[in-house]
Each structure stands twice: as C-alpha cells, then as structure tokens.
Structure 1
C-alpha cells in the first residue's frame, strides 16, 4: 500500500469582524469546519463565521509553523500587502 506524504499548510482566515487569524494544519477543509463550528481557536470562536482567504502548502510542519509565526509578527498593513501580492481579493482585505 502506497503512503502519501503528509501535507502541511499555513493559512489565513478573515473573521466576521474583519480581523485575520493565522494558523497551520494538515487538513484545510476540516480546520475551516472546526473554526466555524466554534471548536477551533478561542480567538475565532467569537468572530464567526470565518472565511479561509489564503493558504500555502509547505514541505514540513516546522516550515509551516515558522511561516505562521512570521506572518503574525507583521502589522495589519504588512499582512494586507503580503496577501495582495499573493492574489487575495481586495474585498477580503478591507475592514
């Protein structure tokens, strides 16, 4: 039986209050459902519904965690710039 390599993703959610939430996962669809069901992060629990506006696949868990950490260190303006540069629609960036 062939085993697939595990996939790791860095992702950005846009919360109902127009804030961003960043995380990492191995299953994007399941993670989004978890956030929107209220069983995700405490931060998103009170800011539902959330929409996944961006994700990147990375080779290792370590790289995904580093990407998440680096993104969280950016200012709101820098985050918006990064997301624009990576093709996220303007409607998801405005408050």
Structure 2
C-alpha cells in the first residue's frame, strides 16, 4: 500500500495546484472544504487530474517540489502520459556571460 501521493488539482480558474499527502482521499476532502490550502480555498471547486503513488511520503514530497517548478505545458505532458516530451519542455537556463 502506498504511503505517499503526489497529486495535481485543477482549480476553478484553470490553475494547477501540486501537493503531496499520506491520505489522498482525506486531503481532497480538505481541499473541497476550503481548508486544504490558501490557493485552492480561493478557487473552488477543484478537480483531481493526476496522482502518483510512492512507498514513502518523503519521495512524494520530493516529487511535489520537482513538479511544482515545472511549466504548465510540462505538467500537462506528464498528466497526458507524454513523458518523452518532458526533457524538451525543461526550462532553459542561459548564462549571462558569453564564452570567449
């Protein structure tokens, strides 16, 4: 049985909320009741779009933090199962100093 979940919700304003929890059913109830998070409380109702199960909560939390930093397009590729697109959707970091 899973001991942790990373999940993505869609809010009423079409924004995404990424979180992690040990009990996904209880956490979803909290979000729907407006007590889950400030972001979701102001954007009810929410819909569960995606989740991943982990053996340990710290792995789910690590994955939450990873996915939170992703662009909307990259999250959508993950949710659609298009994992081959993920590397190409990574944020590009440019060095301000040119090489000589």
Q: State the TM-score, normalized to the length of structure 1.
A: 0.80
Pair 1:80-2:76 in alignment: yes
Q: How far apart are residue 26 of structure 1 and its match?
A: 1.1
Map 1:64-75; keep pairs closer than 5 Å: 64-75=60-71
Alpha-carbon RMSD: 1.4
d(CA) in 2 for partners of 1:54, 1:38: 20
Kindly report structure 1 stretches of 4+ aligned residues shifted beyond 3 Å: none
Gap runs ≥5 in structure 2: 83-100
Could you tell me which residue of structure 2 aligns to residue 43 of structure 1?
39
Larger Rg: 2
**1:62 to partner: Cα distance:** 1.4
Residues 1:50 and 1:6: Cα distance change in structure 2 (over 3 Å): same
SS at 2:45 equivalent: coil
SS in 2 for 1:85: coil
TM-score between both structures, scaled by the size of structure 2: 0.76
Q: Are the equivalent residues in 1 in contact too, given 2:2–2:54 (CA < 8 A)?
A: no
- Which residue of the partner structure matches residue 96 of structure 2? none
Q: Is residue 28 from structure 1 mapped to residue 24 from structure 2 by the alignment? A: yes
